[in-house]
Amino acid sequence: MSSSEGTAPGTSLDFRTDGTAAAPADRQQMRAAARQPYRREAGGRVDRSKPVNFTFDGKPVSGYAGDTIASALLANGIHMIARGFKYHRPRGVASAGSDDPAGLVQIGSDAAVTDPNTRASEQEIYAGLEVKSQNAWPSLGFDVGAINDVLHQFLPSGFYYKTFMGPPGSWMGFEKIIRAAAGLGVAPKAPDPDHYDHINHHCEVLVVGGGPAGLSAARAAARSGARVVLCEETAELGGWLLSADPDTRIEGLSPVDWIASVEAELRDHPEVRVLTRTCAYGYYAENQVNLWEKVVDHQMPADRDPRLPRQRNWRIRAREVVLATGATERPLLFPGNDRPGILLASAALTFAERYGVLIGRKIAVVTNNDTGYDAACRLKSAGAGVVAVIDQRATAGPGVAERASSLGIQVRREAGIVATKGRKRISALEVRRLGLDGTPSGPSETIACDALAVAGGFSPNVALFSQSRGQLRYEEAIGAFVPGRSVQRERSAGAANGTFDLAGCLAAGEVAGAEATTAAGFAAAAQATPDVVDPSVSPGVLDPRTVLPTARAGRTFVDTQNDVTVKDLRLAVQEGYHSVEHAKRYTTTGMGTDQGKTVNVNAFAVLADKQTASLPQIGTTTFRQPYKPVTFGAVAGAHTKGHFHPRRTTAMHDWHVQNGAVFETVGDWLRPWVYPQVGESPEAALQREVRAARTEIGVLDASTLGKIDIRGKDARTFLNRVYTNAWSKLAPGRCRYGLMLNEDGMVFDDGVTTCLADDHFHMTTTTGGAARVLAWLEDYLQTEWPDLDVRLTSVTEQWAVVSLTGPRTPELMADLVEDIDPSPDAFPFMSWQTASIDGLPARVFRISFTGGLSYEINVPASYGLWLWQKVMDKGAAYGITPYGTEAMHLLRAEAGFIIVGQDTDGTMTPIDLRMDKLVSETKGDFIGKRSLSRSDTVRTDRRQLVGLLTEDPSTVLTEGAHVIETAHEPAPPVPMLGHVTSSYYSPTLARSIAFAAVKSGGARLGETVYVTRHDGGAPIKATITELDFLAQKEAGRV
Amino acid sequence: MFIIPCPYCGDRDQSEYAYGGQAHVARPANPENLSDAEWAEFVFFRDNPKGPFAERWNHASGCRRWFNVIRSTATDRILAVYKMGAPRPELDLDRPATPCGEVAGSGNDAVKLVSADAGTGAAR
């Protein structure tokens, strides 16, 4: 907020951080007024007692509280605020709202909170706001990229696709250069420090748009007692009423007083919520409408309540919706129609009435309908000089032109603009008479001006209606699309529905509000037709010619954000892009951040003109969410950092943290990966943990394993159907390993299931597969075998599991448990017993995932940390060492155990895993059984899981590396034998070990293969072996 | 996101449900008696119609019950909901294929506009 830089000599700009004027107030106000030569003497909704100082490209600018960047800059006579996207032509404010195509600026300079592509006509100013122009270097006034404008003949639409062709991949290089040359603002580079919120809300009636139709709809709905939400995109309710003729009266009140009375009534209803600065940006299925509320963006950072989110994303589910989204004025197509100083006539009126700013002192107006005359007269009454009205038509509505003439405004009929002049702001027009076919004739007249207001007719704002999947209808009389047939429970009212007169809008709003309320099941209050005095002029008969011959050649812009000209669109048609959807994508017309709000109808007209078709024949492009760009922050809401994907932690998590564990995510769980000691590398820690587990005692937190409690008299039958092996004879007290297949025969999970009683089993699944397995089992039980008496309960989080492995575990277990004999002789492998630990009953399982002597102790989760600490304390005497998931992986690989999801990939059958013994031939059908005899699954050349031992014991293969037949990699395509699935350096074997899926692997034991390197070096020689490396070591084969 | 009426819990947002594919595809009683082609038909092949489609949904973040839904895949409109084991209800299937009444194809330009003489009025 430094103000010293860029301050003109002799002025002292005393920026205060509270946004108020420094004393003496009158002097400050006088200064501010002196710096705003285009501010009207009075009028507008800005607060002239509160000057607001901000900067534009480093230079100080003054406005008033209530100004947008656009209105404040225009008050200072600054029109040129940006450079075009492609040709870098000067661009200015063209509209007063969210429809402005090219008046985009960057705000803020902080790497974390700067906002690119901010619409100057939307962002409200606050003290100290930093505004910068975009896409200009080194400066807005002198921009090197403007050379593109000189070269424009060589840069037609599709130029990139045609020019930057070359060998494969070269586009990647070109693209970087093109992206840098064309562009908009600069994205923030640091994490967003603001917080955002999501709110789900239900209501009977949602009214979108706070203009006359929306206000009367909301009022009618509110009076019925229904829950109503009214949202308005701008800072204030009122919509077009805030720009209306000051002589307008509704129910005897001025526009501002009427708005205030309706707002007061609405805010008084307890069931009504009024949201301003809130844009309905997406209409989704079943009347879900998303709103984007900017909560504090209009406030200076120091004033923002830290408890409030910066922005909110509202997801509203409405019984009924009223769309009162108003209309957007269309620009006219004439050569040079993109200069700064050229604005929509409606925007000129909004700046004059709502913000008290004149867009110029010598304003020209060009029009194709009667509203242009009205704008000219009203701008004149507001204090501007109006030099001429140029009407494309031969005749205007009765008395309209005469009223303008009587105010001293010159009128040119059957005339069009053939050229404009002025570099940073329009300075003159060339006007010629238009013949019947629109061809210019006669001499050219030059009209000097400092601004041009363009009145091209109004297009109802049908974006949300169309997003709701409603069907549009082309309305010849207004030259635009209107809502045709509704699909969801919504109705459009007012200008959004093609009703442009105030009385009509108010009445339509009232009807829509009452209708929506009734449809939602509420009794609508009695309706009254408001008494309206409306001096405004209706559009009358529009000039049906959108594309005049002068626009077909030369530099007539359709889309000023993406720099698309009439010529570009015509070229696209010529090159075969006849469909409006294709031409749009080829030229990018309407694809900017403005979504073509002002330009689309004109673009369709150009395409229709070139194809000599009617506009409805050409059709329209698809309106998609979002209606305007929504920040990623609002979309993400609070779902960032730890809330993005919440992690599950075990009962022992705090101990792991305190003892230096490095974590990895498995499923949603955080699991200790290794426990490096101070100064120890993860690899060294891994080797130490594995050695301890093989020589003394290793301890693993195995609580994350999926656990499903299975009960019911048909539990055994059920297990027989879901596992590949037989469960009929598993006695209570015994455990068994099982594989689960999908119906396609492929392994999808494995685990140990224990028989607790004849009708009671304890199933374990992989950590990541727990939820999937439970859902899959439930599916079969509910839909295929509802006759089975089986109940499933997930007990994953109910049990904490401490897994002990290593030769000294029996000693520790004897020390730890009471009332059972834990020695391996008395407590056989693959069985379980209830033991008591300090009186706490625990389930102890003699199962092993390491191949070593192991015990898994299950206690209620609330005792997990207690048990872990007790085990660590008692285990210290036996050299106990905690190990993480990486050591677990290595230990199980030494023992030849697979990990589903690492050694399998959804294409491996039990036969491919060479686990044929686990497939029962005799027990009857089970899930996936039939697939194991399909012609494809019985192929003998399928990949099978085998061990690999490298010739050089110190070489560790890369997981995922390709297995090939030859010592040298042949030219592509390289015949593949398979790939490495797991690979480690085993401290127990003092050499590297690996698993690989290799074609016909089981038949190739002992054969030599080669494994490629990711760095392109010579393939590594290896021998195919069995998987169980510990057994091979004992047998002396390794 | 559309709303699905769970037959056990009532109207809930789609995000609470898990999709289960085509309904009424019973697991064959004696897979061993089927040819490879017949078995493959059960394992791999499902219908993909435009329009009404009987499909399975699971109220995964609610009661966890499976049930059947007839949904128009063109409009996402839910035409019927019924419990597992119940027969597929008879529906009057003579309805527009898309919200806009389009019968063949999807997303083409013509569907976004009503023809000039079609008039207005809500079709709910």
pLDDT digits (tens, 9 = 90+) for A968-1008: 999 889 999 999 999 999 999 999 999 999 999 999 999 99
Q: Do the chains contact at B99 and A487, CB–CB below 8 Å? A: yes
* Spatial distance between the Cα atoms of A391 and A1016, rounded to a whole number of angstroms: 73
* Element (DSSP H or E) covering residue A646: none
Q: Do the chains contact at B109 and A620, CB–CB below 8 Å? A: yes
Say what the pLDDT of residue B93 is.
64
Mean pLDDT of A620-648: 92
DSSP, res A341:
T
Q: Do the chains contact at B118 and A581, CB–CB below 8 Å? A: no
Examine the pLDDT at A365 and tell me if it is beyond 80.
yes
To the nearest 10 degrees (0 to 180), the angle between helices A255-268 and A212-222 is 30
Say what the pLDDT of residue A621 is.
84
A937 touches chain B (CB under 8 A): no
Mean pLDDT of A757-775: 96
Closest CA to A110 of A187, A36, A209: A187
Tokens of A928: 């996936």
What pLDDT band is residue A6 in, cutting at 50, 70 and 90? very low
The percent of residues above 90 in pLDDT, for chain B, comes to: 62
What pLDDT band is residue A385 in, cutting at 50, 70 and 90? very high
Which of helix, strand or coil describes residue A660? Answer: coil
Nearest to B1 among A285, A487, A489 (CB): A285
Examine the pLDDT at B109 and tell me if it is beyond 70.
no
Say what the pLDDT of residue A714 is.
98
Note which residues in 781-810 of chain A have CB less than 8 A from chain B: 782-784, 786
Say what the pLDDT of residue B118 is.
45
Mean pLDDT of A602-616: 92
Q: pLDDT tens digit string along A400-435?
A: 999 999 999 999 999 999 999 998 999 999 999 998
* Spatial distance between the Cα atoms of A288 and A295, rounded to a whole number of angstroms: 21
List beta partners, residue A107. Answer: A115, A131
Which residue type is seen at A916?
A: D
Q: pLDDT tens digit string along B40-94?
A: 999 999 999 888 899 999 999 999 999 999 998 877 889 999 999 999 998 876 5
The neighbour count for residue A972, using CB atoms within 10 Å, is 5
Which sign does the torsion angle of CA A308, A312, A317, A323 carry? Answer: positive
Distance from CA of B26 to the nearest CA of A (A): 7
Sequence-distant (6+) residues with CB within 8 A of A759 are: A711, A712, A713, A715
Closest CA to A174 of A162, A185, A184, A165: A165
Say what the pLDDT of residue B123 is.
34
Name which of A286, A481, A604, A791 to mutate to probe chain B: the one with the most chain B Cβ atoms within 10 A of its Cβ: A286
Contacts of B42 in chain A (CB under 8 A): 743
Least confident of A654-663, A755-764, B21-30, B102-111: B102-111
Tell me, yes or no, if the pTM score tops 0.80.
yes
Contact predicate A647/A666, CB 8 Å: no
Tokens of A493: 């009212």
* Spatial distance between the Cα atoms of A757 and A711, rounded to a whole number of angstroms: 9
Say what the pLDDT of residue A3 is.
38
Mean pLDDT of A676-683: 96
The percent of residues above 70 in pLDDT, for chain A, comes to: 94
Q: Do the chains contact at B109 and A485, CB–CB below 8 Å? A: no
What are the strands, taking DSSP E only, across A706-853?
A: 706-711, 735-741, 747-757, 760-765, 791-794, 799-805, 832-837, 840-845
List beta partners, residue A740. Answer: A723, A749
A608 touches chain B (CB under 8 A): no
Name which of B58, B109, B117, B124 to mutate to probe chain A: the one with the most chain A Cβ atoms within 10 A of its Cβ: B109
Q: pLDDT tens digit string along A812-846?
A: 999 999 989 999 999 999 999 999 999 999 999 99
Contacts of A512 in chain B (CB under 8 A): none
Mean pLDDT of A137-163: 70
What pLDDT band is residue A11 in, cutting at 50, 70 and 90? very low
B82 touches chain A (CB under 8 A): no
Q: Ramachandran region of residue A106, left (φ > 0), alpha (ψ -120 to 50) or beta?
A: beta
Say what the pLDDT of residue A13 is.
41
Nearest to B113 among A471, A925, A931 (CB): A471
**Distance of CA B55 to CAs A421, A781, A874, Å?**
65, 18, 56
Mean pLDDT of A483-503: 96
The neighbour count for residue A836, using CB atoms within 10 Å, is 12
**Distance of CA A885 to CAs A814, A858, A1028, Å?**
26, 18, 19
Mean pLDDT of A87-92: 89
Nearest to B64 among A743, A778, A935 (CB): A778
Examine the pLDDT at A490 and tell me if it is beyond 50.
yes
Pairing of strands A451-455, A59-65: unpaired
What pLDDT band is residue A17 in, cutting at 50, 70 and 90? very low
Least confident of A492-496, A554-558, B58-62: A554-558
Pairing of strands B52-58, B66-72: antiparallel
Q: Ramachandran region of residue A1016, left (φ > 0), alpha (ψ -120 to 50) or beta?
A: left
Contacts of A288 in chain B (CB under 8 A): 1
Examine the pLDDT at A181 and tell me if it is beyond 70.
no
For Cα atoms A558, A500, A70, give the angle at the middle one, nearest 5 degrees.
50
Name which of A467, A485, A937 to mutate to probe chain B: the one with the most chain B Cβ atoms within 10 A of its Cβ: A485
Say what the pLDDT of residue A934 is.
96
Mean pLDDT of A13-19: 45
Examine the pLDDT at A622 and tell me if it is beyond 60.
yes
Q: Do the chains contact at B40 and A934, CB–CB below 8 Å? A: yes
Nearest to B121 among A286, A485, A619 (CB): A485
Give me the DSSP letters along A576-603.
T--SHHHHHHHHTTT-STTTTTTTHHHH
Distance from CA of B72 to the nearest CA of A (A): 13
Say what the pLDDT of residue B91 is.
85
Contacts of A613 in chain B (CB under 8 A): none
Q: Do the chains contact at B113 and A473, CB–CB below 8 Å? A: yes
* Element (DSSP H or E) covering residue A568: helix A566-574
Q: pLDDT tens digit string along A840-870?
A: 999 999 999 999 999 999 999 999 999 999 9
What pLDDT band is residue A176 in, cutting at 50, 70 and 90? low
Sequence-distant (6+) residues with CB within 8 A of A252 are: A531
Q: Do the chains contact at B84 and A743, CB–CB below 8 Å? A: no
Mean pLDDT of A363-371: 98
The neighbour count for residue A610, using CB atoms within 10 Å, is 20
The percent of residues above 90 in pLDDT, for chain A, comes to: 83
List beta partners, residue A433. Answer: A415, A441
Say what the pLDDT of residue A186 is.
86
Say what the pLDDT of residue A178 is.
58
Say what the pLDDT of residue B120 is.
39
Say what the pLDDT of residue A15 is.
44
Which residue type is seen at A154?
A: F
* Spatial distance between the Cα atoms of A512 and A492, rounded to a whole number of angstroms: 7
Say what the pLDDT of residue B77 is.
85
Mean pLDDT of A310-336: 97
Sequence-distant (6+) residues with CB within 8 A of A568 are: A156, A157, A558, A587, A589
Q: What are phi and psi of A446, to 5 degrees?
A: -100, 125
Distance from CA of A584 to the nearest CA of B (A): 13
Distance from CA of A487 to the nearest CA of B (A): 6
A939 touches chain B (CB under 8 A): no
Name which of B2, B114, B117 to mutate to probe chain A: the one with the most chain A Cβ atoms within 10 A of its Cβ: B114
Tokens of A689: 């943990």
Say what the pLDDT of residue A525 is.
79
Q: Which residue of B has its CA nearest to A742?
A: B43
In whole numbers, what is the pLDDT of chain A averaged over residues? 92
Examine the pLDDT at A520 and tell me if it is beyond 50.
yes
The ipTM, to two decimals, is: 0.88
Mean pLDDT of A148-157: 71
For Cα atoms A17, A23, A27, give the angle at the middle one, nearest 5 degrees.
115
First to last CA, chain B: 18
Closest CA to A327 of A467, A579, A76, A496: A496
What pLDDT band is residue B115 in, cutting at 50, 70 and 90? low
Sequence-distant (6+) residues with CB within 8 A of A172 are: none
Which residue type is seen at B97?
A: A
